Amino acid sequence: MQRATFAAGCFWGVEAAFRQLKGVTSTSVGYTGGHLENPTYRAVCTDRTGHAEAVEIEFDPSRITYDELLRVFWEAHDPTTLNRQGPDFGSQYRSAIFFHTPEQEAAAHASKENLNAGGRYKSPVVTEIVPASTYYRAEEYHQQYFEKQGTSHSRF
Catalytic residue at 45?
Answer: no
Active-site pick, 4, 8, 10, 54: 10
Distances (CA, A) of 90 to 30, 61, 86, 131, 148: 16, 33, 11, 21, 26
Q: Got the DSSP string for 65-119? A: -HHHHHHHHHHTS-TTSTTEETTEESGGG-EEEEESSHHHHHHHHHHHHHHHHTT
CA 98 to chain centre: 8
d(CA 150, CA 135) in angstroms, rounded, equals 27
Q: Rounded distance, CA 61 to CA 69, Å?
A: 10
Q: What is the DSSP letter of 141?
A: G
Contact indicator for 52, 11 with CB cutoff of 8 Å: no
Active site residues: 10
